[in-house]
Structure 1
Amino acid sequence: MKDFHLIVIGKLKDKNLIALENDYHKRINFPKLHIHECKGHKENIDLELKELLNKVESIKAKHGKQHIVALTEHGKTLTSDKLSQYVYETMENKQCGICFLIGGAAGFPREFLKTVDFQLSLSPMTFPHKIARLVFVEQLYRAQTIKQDHPYHKN
């Protein structure tokens, strides 16, 4: 099975958030999660998008085919069970890895969103990017536990 790649604009600096993220990150092993931080450009969407796309291309060159998922407020909301089903079925059916993208504070250009394979929303609420990143890493761990029928996720 291929890996997950989370590509984010900006560097996580808060030591408390880093500790929480690391706790979930180290638990994700089915498949492995790689987190890539790209340089932010003070809400210059074009430069930030270029950074993200360059990273996606380098991942494709190294790891092969990738399914591209943009996290955006305009995306589809899924339950944790549905997210687990989506990511694992996508990887199995398409025989590819998945690149999840979190843009900078300005988000993604609407034209770019039309080019991705899937648009995912964590919630109809707006979160700071560093919190969205932490919530998403936890949800990937939860997706793994659902797939493995682990008691972490209780229905």
Structure 2
Amino acid sequence: MARANSRIELLLVNLTGLQNFSLLTVLVAFFLCLAPHVYAVSLTRGNFKADAPRSYVASMQKKQNKTETDLRFLRAEAAHLNGFETLALYAVAISIGNVAGLPTSQLNSLSLFYILSRIIFILSYIFLSTPTLWWIRSLSYFGGIAVIFRLFWSAAAALQ
């Protein structure tokens, strides 16, 4: 795993030209928050009410006899909101890690793990409707939260 992670880090260093790309992952995380909403809107086939998006979501929640597409729409919207609920904490954690002077390899590795956990979370939230597989969503969510805690803990230790 460490070897694969090193290859990914090397690829990203070459693509970005930056040794420390951890701050850029905050932007990636932001766009990952938007992606489920874009997908949800595409499911409505032009029926989404952009002038009152929250009302549209509320009407879908109240709808009787929801189709699988309706349920997928609601799960995508929930994944969208969940992303924004954790984004600020992640942005602060990565920023504090950089200010505290954590090793670049640690910042890069943790930021990649966070992004990967968010991708798995989003995909599992939207596409896994079987209750026996929901543990994947929970595990990926807590994996991302663990990254945030690790960043705060490491930064606090570095600033002592």
Q: TM-score, normalised by structure 1?
A: 0.31
Q: Who wins on radius of gyration, i.e. which is larger?
A: 2
Per residue, is there more strand in 1 or in 2?
1
Structure of higher RCO (CA pairs closer than 8 Å, 6+ residues apart): 1
Task: Give 1 or 2: higher helix fraction.
Answer: 2
